[in-house]
Amino acid sequence: MSKSQQSIPVITIDGPTGSGKGTVSRLTAERLGWHLLDSGAIYRVFALASLEKHIATDDEHALARLAGKLEIEFVPGPTGDSLVLLGGRDVTDAIRQEKVGSQASRVSQYREVRQALLECQRAFQRFPGLIADGRDMGTVIFPDAELKIFLSATAEERAKRRYQQLISKGIAADYNEILQDLLERDHRDQSRPVAPLKPAKDAELIDNTNISIEQAVQKVIDLAHQRHLVG
Ligand code: DC
């Protein structure tokens, strides 16, 4: 990390699948006018590339080679939202498929893969500040972040939200299947030996089960003010 980068504030927001951290991170970044790192999107693009290249999920070396030459870009889209490109191709929607998320949870477990994707994540730390959303943002990628949040919600609530999200998009969904997949993914993310999902020692815990997204965003912003990260 360069010396000038060190003075750029970072807020890390980690948590399990479906905890709402994606939305809380995006809205907080918008409110503060800061940059956003959606690290899950990076792992999802990598997972999509591995599926397309038919690389076995246990072939760590082939996966690490792929991670090392992943051509990923985030560019502004026509509606202001960010588009995700893989080798110049728009994969914004493709990476949101359940099978890609599930594959991401499998292929992200290897040390070499995580190492290959490390610098690309740290490069997001730019003025005036960064909101970093993921699983290991506070523990591994930005261990010196000024504010670390761990956002959680019960598995049932997370599955319910995911189910409603899919139905509202007209995508057929089965609540029990979603809950099962989510529990399996939690288990994989929490029990992997490298960079497991867990709160950093100095993280603030926010339980998002019974509060609105807006309330969660406000809590993060209040904490940012308390720590003098914003004026
Ligand atoms: O946040 P998400 O659902 O988009 O992430 C998809 C998967 O990517 C997640 O199950 C585990 C992996 N991931 C990771 O290992 N480390 C991160 N910082 C972000 C995501």
* CA dihedral angle for residue 184, residue 50, residue 116, residue 200, rounded to 10 degrees: -20
- Cα(223) to ligand 1 centroid in Å equals 25
Nearest to 47 by CA among 109, 114, 108, 133: 108
Atom of ligand 1 nearest to the CA of 185: 10
Ligand 1 mutation target, pool 72, 82, 108, 141, most atoms within 8 A of CB: 108
Give 36's strand partners.
Answer: 131
- Say how many Å lie between the CA of residue 105 and the centre of ligand 1: 6
231 C-alpha to ligand 1 centroid (Å): 32
State the pLDDT at residue 222.
97
Q: Which atom of ligand 1 is nearest to the CA of 141?
A: 18
Instruction: Tell the residue number behind the tokens 């951290």, with chain if given.
Output: 21
Residue nearest to atom 15 of ligand 1 (CA): 108
Can you give the pLDDT of all 231 residues of the chain as single tens digits? 665 666 899 999 999 988 999 999 999 999 999 999 999 999 999 999 999 999 999 999 999 999 999 999 999 888 878 899 999 999 999 999 889 999 999 999 999 999 999 999 999 999 999 999 999 999 999 999 999 999 999 999 999 998 998 899 898 899 999 999 999 999 999 999 999 999 999 999 999 999 999 999 999 999 999 999 997
Q: Output the residue whose Cα is nearest ligand 1's atom 3.
A: 17
Instruction: Quote the pTM value.
Output: 0.92
d(CA 204, CA 182): 23
Domains of the chain: residue spans and CATH: 8-224 (3.40.50.300)
Closest CA to ligand 1's atom 20: 40
Ligand 1-lining residues (CB < 6 angstroms): 17, 39-40, 43-44, 101, 104-105, 108, 134-136, 185, 189
Instruction: Give pLDDT, residue 132.
Output: 98
Please report, to the nearest 10 degrees, the dihedral formed by the alpha carbons of residues 215, 182, 202, 207 taken in order.
30
The number of the ligand 1 atom at minimal distance from the alpha carbon of 102 is: 10
**Distance between Cα 67 and ligand 1 center (Å):** 14
Which residue puts its alpha carbon closest to atom 11 of ligand 1? 105
Helix or strand or coil: residue 55? coil
* Sole residue written with tokens 């110049």: 88
Tokens of 166: 């899919």
Task: Name which residue sits closest to atom 16 of ligand 1, judged by CA.
Answer: 135
| Alpha-carbon gap, residue 125 to 12, rounded angstroms | 11
